[in-house]
Structures are given as structure tokens and as C-alpha cells.
Amino acid sequence: MRWIDEPAAGQEPEHPAPVLNLITSKDDTAPAQPVAAAAQNSDDADSDGGNGTAYGIAGILLGLAGLVAGLLAYRRTNHAS
């Protein structure tokens, strides 16, 4: 089954293809102005309570602990043989 039907002369297809018609903007429209209230909410976005920083530090410490444990295990196996 073909999902895109070509329209016949004067008939509407059963499964038409989606069409997007773009038009040019007129010069008499003004560009959108930024909303001042959006700038006031920026302080709320910066205060995350420190959770991200705490998780980052915990991840680094766990990574270093894993590295030390791996190096100790590697040294034990080299000295045993």
C-alpha cells in the first residue's frame, strides 16, 4: 500500500501527503519583545540547594576510592607472583 496518493484531477486522495505551506511575514509586524518577568525568575533557577555539587563531590571521592582499591589489588598480585 502506498501511503502517499497523488491527487487526481478534481478528486481528493484517500491518503494525502502532509503539506506545509509557508508564507513570508509582512513588514508591518513588530518583532516580539522579551518579557521582563522571565529575567526575574533567574535567581530561582540558580538555587538548586547544592544537590548537584554534593553528588559531584561524592562521585569524585568514590572514583578515587575505587582507583586506590584497584591499585592496591594490582600491587598485591604483582608481589605475589
pLDDT tens readout for residues 14-61: 777 777 888 877 766 666 776 665 555 555 555 667 888 999 999 999
Q: Which residue has the cell 538555587?
A: 47
Question: How far is residue 29 from each of residues 1, 21, 35, 55, measured CA to CA in Å?
Answer: 45, 20, 18, 48
Looking at residue 24, the DSSP 8-state letter turns out to be P
Q: Where are the alpha helices (DSSP H) in 1-81?
A: 36-40, 42-46, 51-80
Q: Taking 80 as the threshold, does the pLDDT of residue 62 lie above it?
A: yes
pLDDT for 45? 54
pLDDT at res. 35: 63
